[in-house]
Amino acid sequence: NRAGAVEIERAAGDYAYAARRRRELGPGGLLAALSARAAWTSAATHAVLPLLATDAGLRRQLVTGISAHRRRAGSWSGGLWLPECAHAEWLHGPLEAAGVSSTCVELTRVFGLGDRRHLTPLLTDEGPVLWPIDRAMMALVWSDGGYPSRGPYRNYHGLTTHRHHVWGNDGAVYDAGAARLQAAADAADFVARVRERVAGGGVCVCAFDTELLGHWWYEGVQWLSAVIDECARQGLALSTLDDARGEATPVAPPAQLPITSWGEGGDLRTWSAPRVADLAFAARTAELRLAAARRPVPVRAARELLALQSSDWAFLAYRGTAGAYPRERFSGHLAAFGQALAGDPALGPELRGLAPDLAA
């Protein structure tokens, strides 16, 4: 219909805007622009660290990720995002040894949803500070009934025959103006709730996957911009965790913290439950094979192991959202790992992206 055609023409302007902004970034492009604002890093390939089999494998993930960050950003503040917020107490020592001073943890099943203890950082005996993420506030956005499900927002899953996004969540043709007003209203609501949450003090840590803003939630960038404006209007202080560390007073963590994550059930089942246990055991077996191999190990084998350890393969297989793709990728890296470890001359050291920063 005509309204749908008009919306397609409007949406085409997104591509023109993105192309213009990319040209305006200058030397270094998008990577340089992002690196200039990047303070924290993560493990090399977003491996679920408590599932790794060896100290050497853990060090390889940490040091490779940190080295890659330093090369791209020029410096590092000591902050490290624990992949999938997967935390175990035995990680504290290796994190400290790698230079990590702060990280985030998911303790909802330890403290309970909405407990005020989520607002206080925890100082471990080994040194790294643990920042609990505040699931109660995050769920206002990142949950089935969160803001992105509101009627005026663009429906990510509803496509035309030619795979255009023209529908709102309410079933009508998408109205960008109405969605913009909804984003402003939701930003005001979010800031008001967080402001009330921290009225008695504390730091509310809200962590969202980057792809939520603008990809899964088309209006997410508008919402975030409105949140920043609302914070100024409502008097809510924004801070990086590096800056907040100088103002907040950490307390000792509870004794014997269980292994936690932000996956299903708050534990590691998303990456190790029966439906994906074969992937977890295969990755650990490969890691042990590398640890037992004659030195020096083939560089390609180490790189394939890093690729094999990515949390995405098990996550996608567990959720069943990507068909055969995650298992195909995992199997490909596993086969290449075996070939490289056996010294197959057909496999050189190349594996795009990890070469400059590999920690042996």
Q: How far apart are CA 47 and CA 52, in angstroms?
A: 8
User: What average pLDDT does this structure show over 90-110?
Assistant: 97
Residue 353 has pLDDT above 70, yes or no: no
Output the six-digit token pair for 170: 């309410």
Q: What pLDDT, in 10s, does the model give residues 124-138? A: 999 999 999 999 999
pLDDT score recorded for residue 243: 92
This prediction has a pTM of 0.92
What tens digit of pLDDT does each residue of 80-92 get? 999 999 999 999 9
Q: What is the pLDDT of residue 354?
A: 57
Burial of residue 211, with CB atoms counted within 10 A of its CB: 0-12 exposed, 13-18 middle, 19 or more buried: exposed
Per-residue pLDDT reduced to its tens digit, 193-231: 999 999 999 999 999 988 899 999 999 999 999 999 999
Beta bridge partners of residue 310, listed in sequence order? 47
Question: Out of 88-97, 250-259, 295-304, 309-318, which region has the weakest mean confidence (pLDDT)?
Answer: 295-304
Average pLDDT, the chain: 93
Q: Residue range 158-170: average pLDDT? A: 91
Given a cut of 90, is residue 294 above it in pLDDT?
no
* Residue percentage of the chain with pLDDT more than 90: 80
Q: Which residues of 46-65 are buried (b: 16+ CB within 10 A; e: fewer)?
A: bbbbbbbbeeebbbbbbbbb
**pLDDT higher than threshold 60 for residue 166:** yes
State the Cα–Cα distance between residues 215 and 221, nearest whole angstrom. Answer: 9
**Is residue 341 very low, low, confident or very high in pLDDT (cuts 50, 70, 90)?**
very high
Residue reference for tokens 């199997």? 331
For range 67-74, the mean pLDDT: 90
Q: Which pLDDT does position 42 carry in this prediction?
A: 96
Residues 6+ apart with CB under 8 A from 127: 92, 96, 101
pLDDT band at 162; cut points 50, 70, 90:
confident
Q: Is the pLDDT of residue 360 over 90?
A: no
The two beta strands, 41-42 and 80-81, are: parallel
Q: Which of 17-26, 51-60, 104-113 has the lowest mean pLDDT?
A: 17-26
Is the distance from CB of 102 to CB of 80 less than 8 angstroms?
yes
